[in-house]
Amino acid sequence: MAQPRPSSRPKRPAPGYPTDDLAALRAKAAEVTARLTARYGAVPFSRKDPLSMLVEIILSHRTKDEQTAVAYDNLKARFTTWAELRDAPTAAVAECITGVNWPEVKAPRLQAIMRRITAERGELNLDFLCDLPVAEGAAWLGRLEGVGPKTVACVLLFSCQKPILPVDTHVHRVSIRLGLIAPKVTAEAAHELLQALLPDDARAIYDFHKDLLRHGQRICVFARPKCALCNVTEICDYYQALKTADPTARTSAPSPAPSADRAS
C-alpha cells in the first residue's frame, strides 16, 4: 500500500500564536519572566480583600496608578465601610473620585455592583470567591455589570491568589512585541492564549503580569520603546525585526537596572 506523501505546505502557526511551537513559546515566557523579575524585583501579593480590590480595579480603568490611589484613599477616608458607600448619595461618591477618568460613570457603577452583591449574597462581601474553583469564581464575578475579564482576573489573582492572568494594555503590547502572541490578537483574547503559556501557578502568573506591566510602563512604552535599555532584546521579535531592518541597532545587553527600577 502506497504511503501518503508528506505535504509540501508550510505548517501553519497555532491560532493566536506566531508559531506552532508552543513549547518554545512557554520557554520564552519563562525566560522573560526570570529576566524581568531579576530586574524589577518580585512584588508581594496584595493584602486587600476581594471587594476592596474590585473597587480599586474599577477605579483604575483608563486611569493612572497615582490617580487611582488617591481616589481609593478618598473613598476610605469618606466612608467607614463599603456598605456606607453603597448607600450614600451618588454625588458624594463621585466627588471623592473626581481625579479618575469618568467618575460620573464609576460612582453609580460601584454602588450598583455593591447593591447586587448584597442582594445575591445577603451581605456585602466577596471573600467567598477565594474558596471557589477559578472558573466558578470567574463566572460569578463576570456576571456583574462593568466587570470584564481583566477585572475578574485582577481580583482573583491579586486578592485570592488564584492562577488566572489579567491582561492590561501594557501586558498586551509587550506580549505582542516579544512574539508570545500574534500581532492581531485582541487584549480580551490574549488572556487565555497567554495563560496557556504559563505554569498553573499563581505566583508564576503574578510575576509574569507584574513584570510585563512594569516593563511596558518604563521601557517597552507605546510610542518609542527604549530598546537600548531592554534586557530581553535578543529574544524579542520586535527588536530582532528592527535589527534586521537596521543592522546598526544596539544589540548588546544593557547595564544593570538602577535601583529605582525595583519599585513596583
14 inside domain: no
The CATH number of residue 243's host domain is 1.10.1670.10
- Type of residue found at 147: V
Owner of C-alpha cell 500581532: 183
Same structural domain for residues 71 and 147? yes
pLDDT above 70 covers what percent of the chain? 89
Domain count, the chain: 2
84 inside domain: yes
Mean pLDDT to the nearest integer, 50-76: 96
Q: What is the pLDDT of residue 261?
A: 38
Q: Which of 182, 179, 171, 153 is nearest to 233 (CA)?
A: 179
Same structural domain for residues 90 and 132? yes
* Tens digit of each residue's pLDDT (9 = 90 or more) over 29-49: 999 999 999 999 999 999 999
Same structural domain for residues 38 and 102? no
Q: How many Cβ atoms sit within 10 Å of the Cβ of residue 153?
A: 26
pTM of the model: 0.87
- Final residue of a structural domain among 142, 159, 176: 159
- Final residue of a structural domain among 143, 159, 175: 159
Q: Which of 59, 58, 56 is nearest to 97 (CA)?
A: 59
For the four alpha carbons of 237, 240, 244 and 245, in that order, the dihedral sign comes to positive
DSSP string, 167-196: --HHHHHHHHHHTSS-TT--HHHHHHHHHT
Same structural domain for residues 146 and 172? no
73 inside domain: yes
Q: Could you list the residue range(s) of the whole structural domain that residue 233 is in? A: 22-42+165-254
> Per the structure block, which three cell numbers stand in for 226?
527604549
> Is residue 27's pLDDT more than 90?
yes
- Final residue of a structural domain among 134, 159, 184: 159
10 inside domain: no
Owner of C-alpha cell 460601584: 110
Residues 136/152, Cβ–Cβ less than 8 Å: no
* C-alpha torsion angle, residues 100, 37, 261, 221 (rounded to 10): -60
* Tens digit of each residue's pLDDT (9 = 90 or more) over 128-144: 999 999 999 999 999 99
Same structural domain for residues 68 and 142? yes
Q: What is the pLDDT of residue 1?
A: 46
